[in-house]
Amino acid sequence: MAARLSPLLFPILLAACAGTPAADADPEGDAAARAAAAAAAATSPPPPLVANAPDPLLDVALAGSWRSPENAARDVYRNPRETLTFFGIGSGQTVVEITPGGGWYAEVLAPWLRDGYVAAVVDPQAQPEGRSRDYAARSKDGLEALFAANPEQFREARVVAYDPKAPVFGAPGSADAVVTFRNVHNWRSSGIAEGMFKGFFEVLRPGGVLGVVEHRAAGEVADDDRSGYVGQNQVIALAEAAGFRLDATSEVNANPRDTRDHPNGVWTLPPTNNHDAEDRQQYEAIGESDRMTLRFIRP
């Protein structure tokens, strides 16, 4: 049965029909407007990633009895809860930590993420014989010993050894996030920084996160600078050259007391404290280094 229109609708329909006829439309103008809108959308940066809410299981890991008391005491400087939340790390993700060193972050990430945690360490056999190979071997053995001593917390953690000259951290697109803490200065001085960032890009899935924390210089520094500090724009340039998009920055690890002009670079400050005994109070008052905290996205 045909529907009947209410008499109240007739004036509305008549007003609509009285508008500009289709013949008067400007198709070329409409097309130009649509093209301009499309071009603007293509060139506009996407909105920043919305970081995950703090994961309750992260707090469990931070409070874990397996953590070294010395490591836990540094939470005030390294801000792991705020840093990892800013990176958007959460349960169920696959996260690759690059060169975990003595395992400061591994003590938190591995028990929290379980089989989603991957520790990427330098392959000793990929290093020339001598000091470099010995250091890589000690680092790898030390991390594996940490895991073996706490099987309940670390037995599901995975260790991947990589060649710094041709780094591969896992199957392409297999990781949700890559995180690295205070390593970029070493890669720059060794001439491998570009390759490392390309390796991060390859292992991440589209939309994956690269989280970087690094000692922050006041400005740009030379590749062979030995202070341990790096310019923030220099780190951003390395990541963008590899294909990443800077998504957000954070001052959670900033330290305005750090003047960055110490006689032995960042190692003058805690926790290394490479300074004269009489200067201890001065450097303890500064605390650990000023650090940039950067979140990148793999498009």
Predicted confidence (pLDDT) per residue in 245-297, tens digit = 999 999 999 999 999 999 999 999 999 999 999 999 999 999 999 999 999 99
What pLDDT score does 8 carry? 40
Q: Is 17 inside any structural domain?
A: no
Give me the number of domains the chain comprises. Answer: 1
Q: Is 10 inside any structural domain?
A: no
CA 271/CA 267 separation, integer angstroms: 8
Q: Is 33 inside any structural domain?
A: no
Averaged confidence pLDDT in the chain? 88
Banded model confidence at residue 55, pLDDT cuts 50, 70, 90: confident
β-sheet bridge partners, residue 295: 211, 248
Q: Say how many residues make up the chain.
A: 299
Burial letters for 25-57: b for 16+ Cβ neighbours within 10 Å, e otherwise?
A: eeeeeeeeeeeeeeeeeeeeeeeebebbeebee
Q: Cα-atom radius of gyration of the chain, to the nearest Å?
A: 26
Q: What is the pTM of this model?
A: 0.83
Q: Is 15 inside any structural domain?
A: no
Predicted confidence (pLDDT) per residue in 63-87, tens digit = 999 999 999 999 999 999 999 999 9
Predicted confidence (pLDDT) per residue in 187-240, tens digit = 999 999 999 999 999 999 999 999 999 999 999 999 999 999 999 999 999 999
The number of CA neighbours under 13 Å toward the Cβ of 3 is: 2
pLDDT over 90, % of the chain: 81
Q: Is 146 within 8 Å of 119 (Cβ atoms)?
A: no
What pLDDT score does 14 carry? 38
Report whether pLDDT(40) > 90: no
Range of the domain at 286: 56-297
Residues sharing a CB contact under 8 Å with residue 50, sequence separation 6 or more, in sequence order: none
Q: Is 29 inside any structural domain?
A: no
Which CATH number does the domain housing residue 71 bear? 3.40.50.150
Mean pLDDT of 145-168: 96
Cα 210 vs. chain centroid, distance in angstroms?
Answer: 4
Q: Is 48 inside any structural domain?
A: no
Greatest Cα pair distance in the chain: 99
What pLDDT score does 217 carry? 98
Strand order in the sheet with 204-215: 158-162, 117-122, 95-98, 175-181, 204-215, 291-297, 245-250
For 5, the token pair is 């229109």
Mean pLDDT check: name the lowest of 12-26, 177-191, 229-243.
12-26
Q: 3-state DSSP call for residue 169? A: coil
Is the model more confident about 124 or about 49?
Answer: 124
Residue 42 corresponds to which amino acid?
A: A
**206 preceded by a cis bond (ω within 30 of 0):** no
Q: What is the DSSP letter of 260?
A: S
CA 265/CA 280 separation, integer angstroms: 15
Q: What is the DSSP letter of 239?
A: H
CA 228/CA 185 separation, integer angstroms: 6
Q: What is the DSSP letter of 22?
A: G
Which helix (H) or strand (E) segment holds residue 295: the answer is strand 291-297
What pLDDT score does 45 carry? 56
Banded model confidence at residue 30, pLDDT cuts 50, 70, 90: low
